[in-house]
Amino acid sequence: MKRSSRLSVALHVLLHMAEQPDKALTSDVLAGWAATNPVVIRRTFAGLRDAGIVGSTKGHGGGWTLLKPLDAVSLADIQAALDDPVLALGKAEESPGCLVEQAVNAALDDAVAEARRLLDQRLSKITLADLAARIGPRRVVLQAAGCKDPHHES
Amino acid sequence: MKRSSRLSVALHVLLHMAEQPDKALTSDVLAGWAATNPVVIRRTFAGLRDAGIVGSTKGHGGGWTLLKPLDAVSLADIQAALDDPVLALGKAEESPGCLVEQAVNAALDDAVAEARRLLDQRLSKITLADLAARIGPRRVVLQAAGCKDPHHES
DNA sequence: TTTTCATGTAATTATATATGTTACGTGACG
DNA sequence: CGTCACGTAACATATATAATTACATGAAAA
């Protein structure tokens, strides 16, 4: 496994969900789209549920549903809901005693914080609807081309 | 994943080196400041040497020396010399066949690239001299307080 | 010239973090 | 009350990075 890919996975799955609005979809189905495990989906989506972006129901016919219109959810909303460590610069020590290292950490923290603000600002201006629009024109192709459940492929 | 801390380590060590200009310092000494292994220093500093920021000499009395004035080296220079993966957002797949995921990756790549540009721009405006100045006023305290060689502490 | 010291680097091991998987509990629907 | 699907803890696997070991190379000193 590489870097955290939760945001990428979440977006991918949410957009697929949007193609079947108001239909409860199981973790198994969502996991198929993302080529991952149902438990990973449940973990990832737990944050989205807490943020009110999706809802989940148990039992027969249960599953996940989108609760908000696509244009009401920005990528920043999702990012925040996932509590995903977006971008970071490693430090040698978190709480160093050395004054030199404290100064280094402070300078780097400042710079990273600013970059992070810019990224957040950028993500807050992109909604799920925007992404869907980019794909929309080829919706038909999309359905044919892809992202079927690789788990259960034979 | 474990985050790279090469930039942090390099800056810390370079600033300590600046306190003893023109003196060749061994990897062992530098490693002591950074509380790490001499080999890690040699690996990390290899990039800085290639970039002409520091020089190294072998044999008796050998070691590392700063080749440029502090105000001629920006943090961006160091970052670039280290070939350190600064900030990134994980993707589920690097080259997905799914059009939805392609759109998602493209959108995220754009946003991250912009944040990275801002960070680089920010780092290019901070020089080693700037960092040294922040610490300068308490140079004496610094010497007393710390970063002695923890490797050989008794 | 031989010894000693310090870098250069490959190979191996250790550690941290994220994902993948298994197992089992809980609630809802039939 | 049995089945289905989420909720979650526990454990396994994967990968990225640092730490360590080992040895070669080159330079200065004895």
A121 touches strand C (CB under 7 A): no
Looking up tokens 């801390």 gives: B5
* Nucleotide nearest the Cα atom of B63 (by C1'): C6
With contact defined as beta carbons under 8 Å apart, do A11 and A74 qualify? Answer: no
* pLDDT confidence bin for A90, thresholds 50/70/90: confident
User: Is B92 contained in some domain?
Assistant: no
Contact B107, A149 (CB under 8 A): no
User: Token pair for residue B5?
Assistant: 């801390």
- The Cα A107–Cα A113 span in angstroms is 10
The reply to whether B55 Cβ lies less than 7 angstroms from strand C is: no
In a domain, A135, yes or no: yes
B22 neighbors B65 (Cβ within 8 angstroms): yes
pLDDT of residue B140 exceeding 70, the answer is no
Of A123 and A152, more confident? A123
pLDDT for the residue numbered A50: 96
In a domain, A70, yes or no: yes
In the block, residue with structure tokens 């610069």: A89
Quick check: B63 and B29 in contact, CB under 8 A?
yes
Taking contacts as CB-CB distances below 8 angstroms, the residues of chain B near A111 are 75, 119, 122-123, 126
Residue A28 maps to a domain: yes
Q: Give the Cα separation of B90 and A8 in Å (integer).
A: 7
- Comparing B59 with B93, which gets the higher pLDDT? B59
Output the CA–CA distances (angstroms, integers) from residue A99 to A16, A106, B47, in the order listed.
51, 10, 25
> Is B31 at the interface with chain A, CB within 8 A?
no
DSSP H stretches of helix in chain A = 6-17, 27-34, 38-50, 75-82, 99-124, 128-135, 139-145
In a domain, A153, yes or no: no
- pLDDT (0 to 100) of residue A153: 39
Retrieve residue A42's tokens: 């449940």
Within A 30-69, residues with CB less than 7 Å from strand C: 35-37, 39-40, 57-62
Amino acid A154: pLDDT = 29
CA distance A73 to B104: 14
Bridge partners (DSSP) listed for residue A65: A55
Q: Is the pLDDT of residue B154 over 70?
A: no
Percent of chain B at pLDDT > 70 equals 85
The predicted pLDDT at position B87 comes to: 74
Give the pLDDT confidence score for residue B8 in this predicted structure.
94
User: How many of the other CB atoms lie within 10 Å of CB of B117?
Assistant: 12
Number of domains in chain A: 1
Is B49 part of a structural domain of the chain? yes
State pLDDT tens for residues B114-135.
999 999 999 999 999 999 999 8
**Residue B102 located in a structural domain:** no
Q: Give kind and range of the element (H or E) at residue A36.
A: none
Q: What angle do CA A122, A127, A128 make, to 5 degrees?
A: 135
Of A11, A97, A115, the closest CA to residue B91 belongs to: A11
pLDDT score at B1: 64
Q: Which amino acid is at B114?
A: E
For residue range A100-109, list pLDDT tens digits in order.
988 999 999 9
Please check whether residue A1 lies inside any domain of the structure.
no
Find residue B25's DSSP bridge partners. Answer: B64
Domain that includes residue A30, residue range: 6-86+127-145
Nearest to A141 among B36, B93, B99 (CB): B99
Residue B77 to chain A, least CA–CA distance (Å): 14
The CATH number covering residue A11 comes to 1.10.10.10
